[in-house]
């Protein structure tokens, strides 16, 4: 097998291994595979590489992350006005829940939950407005406080709590509690909205994930092909 053919085989195997790996979302798989490139440096050297931003985490593992760091960077942050959390920052985080048979971006909801959700009266966005960003940031040109878009909703029905067990003991409720059915006509989305507050010191922290080491495995499996290509080149050069 020649160098160019070996590079193509590495590219193909790498993509196939990514697509068949467990524990990677479908969109990440798609983006990872489409990021793989073959570069010809010269006749005896071809490079297969990726610049996908999450490739390193997929390959070598993902550390635990405190998602509340978003409160330091998002212009959509809000500040609680009263109660025990007055003056503290928070965000309202939307979650989309997929229907059975569709799990590209998140797990699909159980069929019994979907049957309940289909019967909900629709919620919809009734208008758009503006509000001040809770960051207190100001426009460097106008010196006015920055504003962000704010949707006004007309709420319909909501799912009750208890349709499924809580995913983790520290969760306040189950993931489908207060789920709403949104959209107009044939375009329907099922959403929940959760508060991420800086006072939630033990929440919104993702668990670490071990690395898949896909590229390393492909390199190991392709070693005989590399050796065959090198031997072929040497035979042509020296004989």
* 189-217 per-position pLDDT tens digit: 999 999 999 999 989 998 899 999 999 99
- The pair of three-digit structure tokens given for residue 236, joined into one six-digit string: 């042509």
* Residue numbers of the domain that contains 50: 3-63+208-238
Q: What is the mean pLDDT of residues 6-23?
A: 95
What total of structural domains would you count in the chain? Answer: 2
Shared domain for 135 and 158, answered yes or no, is yes
Shared domain for 91 and 52, answered yes or no, is no
CB within 8 Å of 34: residues ≥ 6 apart: none
CB within 8 Å of 93: residues ≥ 6 apart: 193, 194, 195, 196
**C-beta of residue 153 within 8 angstroms of C-beta of residue 125:** yes
Q: Give the per-residue pLDDT at 236.
A: 59
pLDDT confidence tier of residue 170, bands split at 50, 70 and 90: confident
Shared domain for 134 and 167, answered yes or no, is yes
pTM of the model: 0.75
Q: How many CB atoms lie within 10 A of CB 63?
A: 10
Q: How many CB atoms lie within 10 A of CB 179?
A: 24
Q: Give the per-residue pLDDT at 53.
A: 95
Q: Give the per-residue pLDDT at 215.
A: 97
Shared domain for 126 and 158, answered yes or no, is yes
Shared domain for 81 and 12, answered yes or no, is no
Shared domain for 213 and 106, answered yes or no, is no
172 or 121, greater pLDDT:
121
User: Residue 238 above 60 pLDDT?
Assistant: no
Q: Give the per-residue pLDDT at 227.
A: 81
User: Residue 20 above 70 pLDDT?
Assistant: yes
Shared domain for 169 and 202, answered yes or no, is yes
Q: Give the per-residue pLDDT at 168.
A: 82
170 or 219, greater pLDDT:
219
Shared domain for 15 and 111, answered yes or no, is no
Shared domain for 187 and 86, answered yes or no, is yes
- Specify the range with the lowest mean pLDDT, choosing from 70-79, 133-142, 156-165, 224-233: 224-233
Shared domain for 80 and 161, answered yes or no, is yes
- 197 vs 11: CA distance, rounded Å: 44
Percent of the chain with pLDDT over 70: 95
- β-strand partners of 182: 123, 189
3-20 vs 214-221: helix axis angle to the nearest 10? 140
- 135 vs 133: CA distance, rounded Å: 5
Shared domain for 32 and 102, answered yes or no, is no
Shared domain for 217 and 141, answered yes or no, is no
């Amino acid at each position: 097998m020649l160098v160019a053919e070996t590079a193509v085989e590495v590219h193909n195997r790498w993509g196939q291994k990514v697509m068949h790996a467990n524990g990677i979302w479908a969109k990440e798989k798609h983006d990872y595979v489409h990021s793989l490139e073959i570069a010809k440096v010269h006749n005896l050297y071809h490079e297969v590489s990726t610049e996908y931003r999450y490739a390193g985490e997929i390959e070598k593992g993902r550390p635990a992350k405190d998602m509340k760091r978003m409160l330091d960077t998002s212009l959509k942050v809000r500040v609680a006005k009263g109660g025990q959390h007055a003056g503290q920052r928070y965000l309202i985080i939307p979650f989309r829940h997929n229907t059975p048979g569709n799990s590209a971006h998140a797990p699909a909801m159980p069929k019994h939950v979907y049957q309940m959700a289909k019967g909900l009266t629709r919620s919809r966005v009734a208008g758009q407005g503006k509000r001040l960003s809770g960051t207190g940031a100001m426009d460097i040109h106008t010196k006015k406080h920055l504003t962000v878009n704010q949707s006004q909703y007309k709420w319909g029905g909501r799912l009750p709590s208890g349709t499924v067990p809580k995913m983790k003991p520290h969760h306040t409720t189950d993931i489908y509690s207060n789920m709403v059915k949104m959209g107009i006509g044939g375009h329907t989305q099922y959403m929940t909205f959760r508060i991420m507050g800086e006072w939630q010191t033990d929440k919104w922290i993702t668990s670490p994930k071990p690395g898949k080491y896909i590229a390393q495995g492909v390199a190991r499996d392709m070693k005989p092909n590399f050796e065959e290509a090198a031997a072929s080149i040497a035979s042509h050069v020296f004989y």
